[in-house]
Amino acid sequence: MIDYSLLAPGAVLALWTLVMLLWLAGTRFPAMAKSGMDVKTAQPGGRGQDLEQVLPASVNWKSHNYTHLLDQPTLFYAVIIFLTLAGGVTQTTLGLAWAYTGLRVVHSVYQATINQVMVRFSIFVLSTICLLALNVMAVIATLG
């Protein structure tokens, strides 16, 4: 019988990613309307990153974080799936995985609001240490 409990922090982080997508949309569209942009007459091919110099920075921060959540967490999903399939679900890996998800949610809220680089960087480093430990345990669990 497979222990699924390590998939829970993954499910939470996936859902959180889409919450950030809603936050992105909920701030971007009013900001675009305010700046007098009309998407209906926009040039074909425009992308989110074209708004970088156009919208206020704090509006784009939500988008930066949504994109960020599609970078490193993809490794996290792979690692927790490896651990689940290789029988690597322990109190330690569960604690680390929940810590990773918790820190990434804090990182998101921080990047989307205050966004001081050093604080954001510190949260990111802490979460990366959790991921690194999980990744080492996944290597041990799958090779062992």
Task: Pick between residue 21 and residue 105 the one whose CB is nearest to another protein.
Answer: 21
What number of CA atoms fall less than 13 Å from residue 65's CA on the CB side?
A: 32
Task: Pick between residue 94 and residue 139 the one whose CB is nearest to another protein.
Answer: 94
Q: Does 87 bind another protein (CB under 8 A)?
A: no
Among 58, 67, 116, 122, interactor with another protein by CB under 8 A? 67
Q: Does 74 bind another protein (CB under 8 A)?
A: yes
Sequence-separated contacts (24+) of 123-131 with Cβ below 8 Å: 127/99, 127/100, 127/103, 128/72, 130/96, 130/97, 130/99, 130/100, 130/103, 131/72, 131/75, 131/76, 131/79, 131/100
Contact positions vs another protein (CB under 8 A): 2, 4-5, 7-8, 10-12, 14-15, 17-18, 21, 25, 39-40, 42-47, 67, 70, 74, 77-78, 81, 84-85
